[in-house]
Amino acid sequence: MKDKALRDAREEQQELEALHRLDEECVHQQRAGNYLKAFDCMERALVLRRHFFGIESEEVVQACRALAEMCNLLAMSFLQQDNYAVTIDLLKKAEVLTQRHHSAERATTLNNLACYYRRLGKLHSAMTSLKRALELEKILENVRNAADTQLNMCAVLSQLGKHQEALEHAQEALITLQEGFIQSKHTTSTSSGEHSEDDTSNSRLDRISVMCIAYHNVGVEQEFLKDYAESVSSYKKVKNSAWVVFLILLT
């Protein structure tokens, strides 16, 4: 009995050491840009974490979030390479990993599924995924990519010929972005230096770039609806927003 207890303790210690090595290897591979190898390490480490800490432990919950993020990152990379089989496999894994927790990451997964379906020409499936993403984002606070979901919905509806609905989603994206800028300005003025200036600037640059896309989409849908004067006005706003991006890049 005593020998068995010692043997079990020794095996457990070895498995904990294996987990530690996997975590270190994952960090090393990510820094080297080897994301597939990092993904493999994360999957194997998750199995060990479930064994040691339990499915509902904070250790496992956070590991699921990190792995879901990696699934989404890799899925979009494979989608760009037209590797649809690997893309959908990764996105399905991300869906499972975000089933019980991490609504924001699940919304991202649904957005990426919509991109996958849209690439295959399955527009109604894409719209179903985006509707689910929008429902999730409505109950979440400060969802950074909420405007992106609206713009993805705009693109799908436009392809389906539903230009009035597409316009409404593009306009909703603009409202979301403008509210985000106001919130960001307030947060920056009251924060105690939690984020670096570079992080703040890069985030702002990204959102202004998305605003350029939103104004362009508004202009396109207005053009489809033969509202030419408003369409020209929207295109001018694209130019103004692009000029802001240029000035930020110069500084």
The CATH number covering residue 33 comes to 1.25.40.10
Q: Is the pLDDT of residue 192 over 80?
A: no
Q: What is the mean pLDDT of the chain?
A: 88
Residue 192 within any structural domain of the chain? no
Do 98 and 173 share a domain, yes or no?
Answer: no
Residue 68: exposure state from Cβ atoms within 10 A (0-12, 13-18, ≥19): buried
Do 120 and 224 share a domain, yes or no?
Answer: no
Of 57, 36, 44, give the one whose Cα is nearest residue 15.
Answer: 44
Residue 54 within any structural domain of the chain? yes
Residue 135 within any structural domain of the chain? yes
Which pTM was predicted? 0.85
CA 145/CA 143 separation, integer angstroms:
6
Do 133 and 178 share a domain, yes or no?
Answer: no
Q: How many structural domains comprise the chain? A: 2
CA 234/CA 215 separation, integer angstroms:
6
Domain boundary among 78, 111, 143: 143
Angle at CA 152, nearest 5°, toward 149 and 154?
110
Q: Is the pLDDT of residue 189 over 70?
A: no
Do 245 and 212 share a domain, yes or no?
Answer: yes
Residue 173 within any structural domain of the chain? yes
Residue 159 within any structural domain of the chain? no
Do 79 and 29 share a domain, yes or no?
Answer: yes
Q: What is the mean pLDDT of residues 50-59?
A: 91
DSSP 8-state class, residue 194: -
Q: Residues 79-92: pLDDT tens digits?
A: 999 999 999 999 99
pLDDT of 144 reads: 76
- Provide the domain limits for residue 239: 166-184+199-250
Do 127 and 180 share a domain, yes or no?
Answer: no
Do 111 and 60 share a domain, yes or no?
Answer: yes
Do 139 and 20 share a domain, yes or no?
Answer: yes
Question: Where residue 7 falls among pLDDT bands split at 50, 70, 90?
Answer: low
pLDDT of 5 reads: 58
Residue 158 within any structural domain of the chain? no
DSSP class per residue in 24-65: HHHHHHHHTT-HHHHHHHHHHHHHHHHHHH-TTSHHHHHHHH
CA 63/CA 70 separation, integer angstroms:
11
Q: Residues 200-233: pLDDT tens digits?
A: 667 778 888 899 999 999 999 999 999 999 999 9
Residue 96 within any structural domain of the chain? yes
Do 125 and 227 share a domain, yes or no?
Answer: no
Residue 148 within any structural domain of the chain? no
HSE toward the beta carbon, residue 228, CA cutoff 13 A: 0
Structure tokens at 31: 């820094």
Structure tokens at 11: 């095996």
Q: How many other CB atoms sit within 10 Å of the CB of residue 200?
A: 15
Do 115 and 176 share a domain, yes or no?
Answer: no
Do 31 and 128 share a domain, yes or no?
Answer: yes
Residue with tokens 């020209």: 232
DSSP class per residue in 179-191: HHHHHHHHHHHH-
Do 133 and 177 share a domain, yes or no?
Answer: no
CA 167/CA 177 separation, integer angstroms:
15
